[in-house]
Each structure stands twice: as C-alpha cells, then as structure tokens.
Structure 1
Amino acid sequence: MDAIIAATHPDLYPYYAQLRAEGGLVFHQGLNLWLASSARAVAAVLAHPDCHVRPSNEPVPKALVGGMAGTVFGELMRMNDGERQRCPRSSIQPGLALVDLDEVKTLIAARLITPDAEGLHNAMFRGPVCVVAALLGFSPAQGRAISALTADFVACLSPLSDQAQLAAAHSAAEQLNGYFIELLDDPHNRSTLLAGIRQRFAATEATPQTLIANLIGLFSQTYDATAGLIGNTLLALIRDPTLPRDSIHIDDLIAETQRFDPPVQNTRRFVAAPCEIDGVSMNTGDVILVLLASANRDPQLNDNPDVFTLDRPGRRSFTFGTGGHHCPGQVLAMEISAATVREVLAVKLDLMGLCWEYRRSVNGRVPLFKEWPDN
C-alpha cells in the first residue's frame, strides 16, 4: 500500500498509524513527495503561506488547458491562493453560512427516495446538487439536469480520468456555464443566497466568469464530498448495527463519520519558496500529500481516535480543511448529509442487503452501493 492508493483501501487506518509512527512529515522516495500524516504536521502545512494549492508553473492541469473545464478550473477559489482565492470566498462564504437549514430539510424531504441501491445512489449524488441548485433559484427540472452535468464535470478534477471523460467534462462545463448565464439574467430569480453572492461580488473587481466558475464549483464540491459523507455514515451503521438510528442521533453520526472515516482523505500542497515546515527544510517545487484522514486519527488530536464515539467531547477534524482554504460550505454539507441519511432510514432501505466498493480515486473515499447478487 502507499498513501495514494490508501484512500480506497478497505482497511487503511493501520497504515496511517504506521506513517505517523515513522514521523509526521517524511519524504516518500517511491511517490517522490512528502507525506504529512500527523495532526501537527498537517496543521503546519495547511497554515504555511508558502504551501499553495497548485504548482506555480501549472495553475491549470495540462490536460484541461484549452477547454471550458480548464477555464472554470483556473477560476475556482479552491484552486487559487492570494486575492484570486480571497475575493470569491469573501463573496460566497457569508451566504452559505446564512442558508436556512429548515429549507434544506424540506427540499430533501420532498425528494422521492426509493428503498433500493439506485434510490440510494440518487440520494447520495444527485440529491445534494439538486438542493444547492434550488437554493440558487433553479427549478426542480433544471436541478436534475444540472446534477447530471455535474457528474460529468467532476471528472476534470481527477487525474484518473481518460480522454472521453475529459471531453465530457468540457461539454458539461459549457452547459453549466450556460445555465448560470440564464439564471443571472433572470429578473424573476428570488434566491436570497444568489442575491447576496451577487451583491458581494459586485463590490469586488472579479469578473462575471469568476462568479460563474465558483458557482459551478459549489456543485462540484457538493457532488463528491457530500456523497462520500452520506455513504460512509451508512457504512458506519452497516458495520455496527448497535449504533442508534433515531433522528436525534443523526447529527452525531455525521459529525463522527466525517472525523472517523472522511470522504476526503487527502489534499496536496505545492511549495512555492524555500521554507521550513515543522522543523523540516523544504525546497521550491516540493509536493506535500496532506493526509487529512490520518491526522484525524492522531491521538494528539483526539483521545481514543480509533473508536467511533457519538458523543465525543471536543471532537476535532481536518476533513473540511483549516485556515484560508477551510471549506466554506461545511455547515451546509453536514446538514444536507444528515437530512439525507434521515430520509434514507425513513424509507426502510435494507442496509444489510447492500454490498459496496469504493469509487476509483486518489483522494476521495466514496462508496458505491449495490444489492447483493441473488444466490
């Protein structure tokens, strides 16, 4: 096993413990990058101003240059540092923090979730995007189309995608861009979320393309991470049938799952200038694989970290990042996940009748469910 393929390994956490025992920040010769595995090292890397989210010589992956997916990628706040990150973030984050969570619950409760693997798949992947689309003022029909396009677009974010998937991502980006052009031109849009975002963007020097790209980014971030959080929470219930399934405990289930078995296992940082991080000298161009999930299991961060504890006091986690690149939609993602799990349990889906495998990924841990084949 190595730290990249670990993200989808069935039993990866003992490996993370081994990495932490070898040192919080060490160089891996085979992968040709640094591994930050301890809570202390992860915190230091995420906070360091010389650790950027993209290499300075390749702000957009070469495979995306020249297409619409690359244009969107280059504008995303999560893929930029400095003002190109702060400007869209300052416009979008305040609105996400003010979303009416009761409205989120209502939107999810209105969706028809069938008690089978296909219904669960739609609830995990399609439902959350439809919720965000509705909050921005799209119609239900538009939301369904946008969720399908988002499924194609997220392929541009994975280095594992082939040429056919990248072509589909470019096409999806074009269509998503069109949807937002129409939405922003609609004088009848009544979304308070979108109105606030537009007002704050207007006070900056950002271009309309930056606004649209980061609205598309809301969908892409919702699609994978929320699906993984929903799926891994259900896996916790499958693995331990004694865990309570009543509504009052769902928020605790979600909170502990995002620490214990997070949907985003790692992220990367690229060293932009010679510096020292956690006592280790770094050179320009060095790459650091930041093992968020490993840090979550560090005993220095949480007591008894390998035990799934619903009422964990002082729970701490790096799943949603920290510092300037902390996920601005954390509260919304947690609420969408909790409301979705409630609805899945309410339709009496037979969780024990499901099997699963993890979707191919270098950083995500997202289960794909199906019914056990008939014997």
Structure 2
Amino acid sequence: MDPITAATHPDPYPYYASLRAQGGLTFDPHLKLWIASSAEAVCAVLRHADCHVRPAHEPVPKAIADGPAGRVFGRLMRMNEGERQRCPRAAIAPGLQDIDPQQVEALVRARFITEDDVDLHPRQFIGPASVVATLLGFSPTQSHLVSELTGDFVACLSPLSQTTQLDAAHRATEQLEMLFRERIDTPDSPLLKRICQDLATDPDSLVPNLIGLLSQTYEATAGLIGNAVLALIRDPALRRTVIAAPKQISPLLAEVQRFDPGVQNTRRFVAAPSEILGATLNSGDVILVLLASANRDPRLNPQPDDFLLDRSNRRSVSFGTGRHECPGQTLALSIAHATLEAMLEREPRWDRLTWSYRPSINGRIPMFSDQSGTQAP
C-alpha cells in the first residue's frame, strides 16, 4: 500500500496512522511527493496562500486541455485561485446555504415514488445530481439527462480515465453547456436567478461553475451515501438503531464523513518557496493531502477509530478547509439524509449486498450489487 492506493484499500486507516507517526509532513522519495497526514499539517497546507489547487505549468490537465471539457475545467472555481475562485464562490455559496432541507426531501421522495427501478446505483449517483438540476430549474426528465451527462463529464476529472471516457466527457460537456444556456435564457428557479444575478460580472464563469456544482454533487454525495450504507451493513446494531430512530440519520452521516469519507485525499501544488511546519518546500513541489488521515488524528478527534453517533465536538476536513472549502456541504448532507431515509423505509436486502470500490486515486466510493451480480436494490 502507498498513500495513493490507500484510497480504495479495504482498510487504509492503520496505514494512515503509521504515516502520522513518521511526522505530519514528510517527503516520499518513491512517489516524489510531500505527504500531509496529520490534522495540523493538512490544515496548514489547505490554508497556505502558496499551496494552489493546480500546478502553474498545467492549469488544465493535458488529456482534456484541447476539448470542451478542458474549457469548462479551466473556469471551475475549485480549480482556480484569486478572482476566478472568489467570484464564482461568492455567487454560488449563499444560494446553496439557503436551500430548504424540506424541499430537498420532497424532491428525493418524488424520485423514489415516480421511478420504477429501485436499484441502489441511481439512488447513489443519478439521484443527487438530479435533485440539484431540479433546483436549478430543469424538468424531471431533463434533470435525469443532466445527471447522466454529469456522470460522463466527471470521468474527465480522473487520471485513470481512458480515451473513450474522455471522448464521452467532451460530448457530455457540449450537451451540458447547451442545456444550461437554454436554462439561463429563461431562469425560472430562485436558485438559478440568484446565481445568474450574483455572477453577472463574470458571465464566462457561469455555465462552467453550474456544471462544476453538479459534478461535485455527483461524486461527493455518492461517496457519502455509499459509505453510510456500508456502515449500516457492517454493524447490524447500528442499523437497528437508525431504523428504529430515523433522527439518528443526521449524526450517522456526520460520523461517516469523518470516519470513512468519500474523498480520501486531494493535492496542492507549491507556487513559491515556502516553509510549512518547519519543512522547506520549493516552487513546483506537490503535496498529497490526506484528508481521511487527518480525520483520524487523535489530536483532532479523541477515540478517532471508534464510530460514535453521539461524538461531541466532531471535527472533520472531509469537505476541505480554508478558501477552497466545499460550499455544498450542507446540501450534500441534506440530499444524503433524504436518500438514506427513503432507502431504509424500503427495507433493503442487506444480506444480499456485495460491493467493491470504484477505481480511483483519491475517491472512496463503493459500488453495490447483489449476490447474483445485478445492481442492488
């Protein structure tokens, strides 16, 4: 195991503990990366002004730089610094914070009622992005299409993607751009109207960051839902507790995103010579930031390896911290809560579920099936 393959290892957490024991910020000569593994180091890197989200020499990955997906990637607030990050964030974040959880629950439940299939895959992946698309004014049919296209676009964000996936991502990007331009011409949703008004000074960033909002929802919420399901499968007593008291779904999700987060790591690229926690870093150095390891640091959370619904002062960096902290955390938790509650009411066949982790260098997203090899209900 190494810090990259750990993301999809069955149990990477003892390994993360061994990395923390070596020091919070260390250099791996084989990977040629700095490794931030302690809570202190992770927070220091994420908050450092000279630790950027992309390398200066490659603001857009070479694999997609010449296509539509690269055009969108280059404008995403999560992949930029300065005004290209601050302006879209200031336009999008407030609207996300004001979304009514009851509205989210109604949209999730409407999908459970109207769709014939009860497979876990669409609940975990297609459903969350469809909810966001509906909040942005798309019809139910359009929302489903937008969510599927988002899944195709997301593939371009992974270095593991093959040529066929990258080609599909470019095609999906063009379709998403067209659909969003049509929506923007007649913005009849309060959320979309607010974002359009607040981002009027930077119109070129509008469509890319609406696509970015969907792409972040797609994977982050899928990981949150999936790892919550795993927690319930692995612990029958926990499952009985949550089924008997649905109000425990909120602390369950809060603890899941700390204990076994869907995003295990992220990267930062040093833009100027810097000193962090006594280590001297040079311009161009790369830092692998182990978010999941920081969450298990006993200096951040006492008894870090215990799964506790009633954990006091729970602290987590799963959604980031500092200027690039995810603005959609509350929305993701609301969607995951409504989805999990509706799933539990349908009494899934827990004993038939099997899973494997989706191939990734940073995500920990379980994919479920039943023992016959079909998608799991």
- SS of the residue corresponding to residue 267 of structure 2 reads strand
2-structure distance, mates of 1:121, 1:229: 13
Task: Return the TM-score normalized by structure 1.
Answer: 0.96
Shift in Å at residue 267 of structure 1? 0.4
- Aligned positions of 1:9-28 closer than 5 A: 9-28=9-28
Match of 2:210 in 1: 215
1:144 aligns with 2:153: no
Shift of the alpha carbon at 1:190? Answer: 2.5
Instruction: Tell me the residue number matched to 1:360.
Output: 359
Counterpart contact for 1:97–1:331, Cα < 8 Å = yes
Corresponding position of 2:228: 233
Matches within 5 A, 1:28-177: 28-112=28-112, 119-177=119-177
Cα separation, 2, equivalents of 1:293 and 1:242: 25
Residue 101 of structure 1 deviates from its aligned partner by 1.1
Amino acid aligned to 1:319? S
Structure 1's 52 and 145: CA in aligned 2 closer, same or farther, altered over 3 A?
A: same
**Corresponding position of 2:195:** 197
CA contact (8 A) 1:118 1:370 kept: no
* Counterpart Cα distance in 2 of 1:110 and 1:66: 40
Q: Give yes or no for contact 2:112–2:342 (8 Å, CA) kept in 1.
A: no
- Normalising by structure 2, we get a TM-score of 0.96
Change (3 A) 1:210 1:115: closer
Q: Distance in 1 between matches of 2:19 and 2:44?
A: 17
**Residue by residue, what CA displacement relative to the aligned partner does 1:260-299 show, whole Å, maximum 9, x if unpaired?**
0000000000000001011110000000000000000000
Contact 1:259 1:319 in 2 (8 A): yes
Residues 88 and 201 in structure 1, CA contact (< 8 A), matched pair in contact too: yes
Q: How far apart, CA to CA, are the structure 1 residues paired with 2:277 and 2:236?
A: 41
Query: % of aligned pairs identical?
Result: 61
What is the letter of the counterpart of residue 21 of structure 2?
A
DSSP-derived class of the 2:26 partner: strand
Instruction: Check 1:256–1:195 CA distance in 2 against 1; reply closer, same or farther (3 A cut).
Output: same
Indicate how the Cα distance of structure 1 residues 233 and 116 shifts in structure 2: closer, same or farther if over 3 A, else same: farther
Report how many aligned residue pairs link the two structures.
369
Deviation digits for residues 124-145 of structure 1, max 9, x if unmatched? 0000011000100000000011
Shift of 1:209: 2.9
Taking the aligned partners of 2:264 and 2:21, their CA distance within structure 1 comes to 18
Q: Deviations over 1:194-245 (max 9, x none)?
A: 111111112x3x1x33100000001100001100100000100111110122
The residue number in structure 1 matching 2:330 is 331
Counterpart Cα distance in 2 of 1:233 and 1:271: 34
Query: 8 Å contact 1:113–1:344 — kept in the other structure?
Result: no
Distance 1:190 1:164 in 2: 36
Does the C-alpha gap of structure 1 residues 277 and 238 become closer, same or farther in structure 2, counting only changes over 3 Å? same
Whole-angstrom CA distance in 2 between matches of 1:172 and 1:31: 33
2: CA distance, partners of 1:209 / 1:153: 19
Unaligned runs of 5+ in 1: none
Amino acid paired to 2:349: D
Residue 352 of structure 1, CA deviation: 2.2
What is the rounded CA distance, in whole Å, between the counterparts of 1:234 and 1:148 in structure 2?
Answer: 22
Letter paired with 2:210: L
